[in-house]
Structure 1
Amino acid sequence: MAISSPFVVVVGVDGSTESQAALDWGIQEAKLRNGQVIVLASWHYPYVTDAAGQAWDYAGFERDAQTILNDELERVADQGVPVTGRLVEGNAAAALVEASREADLLIVGSRGLGGFTGMLLGSVSSQLAHHARCPLLIIRTGDES
């Protein structure tokens, strides 16, 4: 008898309303398909230095991403679906493309916490639309400004 692997949903989170909606959708999709959810948060060192010469709190970038991941995992605990978290150092789009290699479905919000609030798609979701290695679902909540 062949044993099939569970349906794997990977969801990118960044603390935005859209990423929370993406995770909620991912939980429901995994329930319908008897699957599991991998919640991925990423962080990276900034590419520029502070103009005032202030030292960056590099540990803060990782700590903030870990807090977002922990908060989201706690928010969806006990939903009847196996949920695991992954904290990845590096570019969010690259980390999600890599994670999509093992996924049956990748879900992200239409845009995150970046500064260009009027855009329909953020840079990460736009890159994933071109490079994801599995089906991609981009969630738009309508709450965007």
Structure 2
Amino acid sequence: MNGPAVRVLAGYDGSLPSGAAIENCAQLLPAAHAHIVHLWTPPFASDQLRRRLWTGTRQVDAYVTAVEREGQRESDRIAAMGVVLAQAAGWTAEPLTLRGYGGEGFELTEAARKVDADVLLVGSRGLGGARAVLGSVSDMAVHYATQPILVAPYPLLAADENALVQGPVLVAWDGSAGATTALGAAVRLWPQRHILLTSVDHDINPPIPPGKPQMTVLRVDSRHEGSPTAVADALATAAREHGAAAIVLGSRGRSAVREITLGSVAMSTLHRAHRVVMVVHHYDQPHPATQPGP
């Protein structure tokens, strides 16, 4: 990206998957500036630390004070570790620790908005120890992000990691306003990369985006026309066959339909592509951040 460095807000919890997300996306977005954020949430310290503090105090008030003090130190240390990792990968970086009370995915999206990040980065299994392909934190972050959000799966195969450096960027194209927004974001972030504008099951004339990037128009077929999982599989196959560094998809941003939209092609791709995916929300009106409901 020409001009000022891309601003990334990266969630980091000290785990191998969250560290791999930073290392991998530093290849995808070199020379970026990152806020490495660690979310400090109840019970505000590790099990081992809380047991040791309780043994040392035995008084509830003193225990709570000690947990908050030592938990903050622990959180600061984890964020600092993430900064070192990001710097070693080629980014400039600074730590950010946030105290939250649940809804970590939403907290990440709020932090990205407040620091005016260009991109929010989460690892699909690197936050909160989630067992699913998409954990609850990254799942919620995708739903509520106002910035483009990169979801980095763990682990990536060697061929997938190699593609991050110079591989083309595959943009899913259906002619919608959401797809147009996604294409614009891809061109801004990767102006020097080849764009694979890919439609599934239909021939749809593409626009000529600002900047006139190198662009190839692809049409691929799915096994079951119209099925979200089949479309996601077709996009994933095209990305693998063309050595794509990432898949970029647009999504409607109105909260009333967010569950339906992200429950279809975009969310299916996040679950099934096994490579870095960026979701870009399209808003018909300026979107104020809203706290998720109960």
Q: TM-score, normalised by structure 2?
A: 0.40
| Higher CA-based Rg | 2
Q: Which residue does 2:111 correspond to in 1? A: 99
Count of residue correspondences: 135
CA contact (8 A) 1:110 1:125 kept: yes
Counterpart CA distance in 1 for 2:130 and 2:25 is 26
Matched to 1:15, the amino acid is G
* 1:40 counterpart = 2:54: no
Distance 2:77 2:128 in 1: 18
CA distance in 2, matches of 1:100, 1:13: 13
State the Cα deviation string for residues 44-103 of structure 1 (Å, max 9, x = none).
Answer: 2339xx9x9974523232222211111122233354432111111114323311122212
Q: Give unmatched runs, 5+ long, in structure 2.
A: 45-49, 157-294
Unaligned runs of 5+ in 1: none
Matched residue type, 1:25: N
CA contact (8 A) 2:13 2:128 kept: no
Q: 1:82 — aligned with what? A: 92
Kept in 2: contact 1:111–1:123 (CA 8 A): no
Return 108-117 or 6-15, whichever deviates more: 108-117
Moved over 6 A (4+): none
Letter in 2 for 1:17: L
Distance of 1:130 and 1:99 partners within structure 2 = 15
Counterpart of 1:58 in structure 2 is 68
Q: Distance in 1 between matches of 2:151 and 2:25?
A: 11
Does the Cα contact within 8 Å between 1:108 and 1:137 map onto a contact in 2? Answer: yes
Give CA-to-partner distance per residue, 1:117-136, whole Å, 9 cap, x none.
3x111111010110011111
In angstroms, what is the RMSD of aligned CA positions? 2.9
Change (3 A) 1:9 1:26: farther
The code of the aligned residue for 2:37 comes to L
Name the residue aligned to 2:173.
none
Contact 2:128 2:137 in 1 (8 A): no
Identity %: 29
SS in structure 2 of the partner of residue 76 of structure 1: helix
Correspondence 1:1-145 to 2 at 5 A: 5-31=4-30, 34-46=31-43, 55-56=63-64, 57-90=67-100, 91=102, 92-101=104-113, 102-112=116-126, 114=128, 116-117=130-131, 119-142=132-155
User: Does structure 1 retain, via aligned residues, the 8 Å contact 2:127–2:138?
Assistant: no
Q: Kindly tell me: are residues 18 and 115 of structure 1, through their superposed partners in 2, closer, same or farther at Cα, counting changes over 3 Å?
A: closer
The whole-number CA distance in structure 1 between the counterparts of 2:126 and 2:20 is 12
Say if 1:59 and 1:11 are closer, same or farther in 2 by CA, change over 3 A. same
Match of 1:64, SS state, is helix
Counterparts of 2:127 and 2:6 in 1: how far apart (Å)?
29
Q: Following TM superposition, by how much is the alpha carbon of 1:12 offset from its aligned partner in structure 2, in angstroms?
A: 0.4
Residue by residue, what CA displacement relative to the aligned partner does 1:3-48 show, whole Å, maximum 9, x if unpaired?
x6432111100011211011113322331xx43111111102339x
> When you count helix as a share of all residues, which structure comes out higher?
2
Amino acid at match of 1:18: P
